[in-house]
Amino acid sequence: MVVVIALGALFAHQTTADGFDRVLDDPVINSLGRNRTLVGWMSWPGTQVPALVISLAMALVCLRSRRLNAAVLALTAVLIATRLDDALLKTLVGRTYLGALSYPSGHTSSVVALCATYVVLFVLPVAGSDGAGSDGAASDRAGSVRLRRWSYLGLGVLLLLVVSTVLGVIGLRWHYFTDTVAGAAVAVAVVCVLCLLLDAVLDGFRRWPAARRDR
């Protein structure tokens, strides 16, 4: 959130792009901006429908493996990140693009929140495993390698959606590049804070019956 606050203070109530944004935004606008249909589809991954579908899919996978805190994270990360953008930060900073509030980019927050949640739930656990069963069987190692490849493939797809969304919202002239940086920072911060809170709260609930019995 330090990045969000610092950039927000720098760009507060700004109505035009600064030199840094123009250097990065103009090539995208000039090359993609004329094709509104294309950039519209490019920005689509950051909208509500794909966010809901992907969030539900991740939550269902987590519920099947009885990872309740993981399922709650999957269902809440995008909602909290985008509501924080729209209900607080955009009004507070007051930066506009063609008259509309633009900082931070909610589209970017949405798709980056999905990506960060996926990393926490499906990439880090696989990457942290040793790839072997208790007996070090080759079949267990092979299964772990396949799982790791699939998890990285999913991450690659989500990263492509992030890039597509960023280019799309810039090409549509909805956001400056630095708006997308702030949107990504909001998403990562929200996912990290939710991980800490959910682990603390749910671990407390798990310990509570035992604590009562010990009294």
Q: What is the average per-residue pLDDT within 110-123?
A: 96
pLDDT tens for each residue of 174-193:
999 999 999 999 999 999 99
Does 8 have pLDDT greater than 60? Answer: yes
What pLDDT is stored for residue 159 in this prediction?
97
pLDDT of residue 92 exceeding 70, the answer is yes
- Given a contact cutoff of 8 angstroms between Cβ atoms, the answer to whether 55 and 114 are in contact is yes
Q: How confident is the model at residue 33 (pLDDT cuts 50, 70, 90)?
A: confident
- Residue with more model confidence, 93 or 129: 93
Averaged pLDDT, 82-86: 96
Beta bridge partners of 165: none
* Structure confidence at residue 150 (pLDDT): 87
Q: What is the pLDDT of residue 211?
A: 43
Angle formed by the axes of helices 36-43 and 19-32, nearest 10°: 120
Q: What per-residue confidence (pLDDT) applies to 145?
A: 75
pLDDT in the model for residue 106:
97
Instruction: Parse the chain into domains and list their residue ranges.
Output: 2-8+35-131+139-206
pLDDT tens sequence across 123-153: 988 766 655 444 555 556 666 777 788 899 9
Contact assessment for residue 75 and residue 59, using Cβ atoms and an 8 Å cutoff: yes
pLDDT of residue 93: 96
Region 71-80: mean pLDDT is 96
Alpha-carbon distances, residue 194 vs 5, 31, 117, 190 (angstroms):
19, 38, 10, 6
Q: What is the pLDDT of residue 139?
A: 58
pLDDT score of 197 more than 70: yes
pLDDT digits (tens, 9 = 90+) for 98-113: 999 999 999 999 999 9
Number of Cβ within 10 Å of residue 163's Cβ equals: 12
What share of the chain in percent tops pLDDT 70? 86
Alpha-carbon gap, residue 4 to 179, rounded angstroms: 9
- The predicted pLDDT at position 210 comes to 45
Q: Work out the pLDDT band at 32, boundaries 50, 70, 90.
A: very high
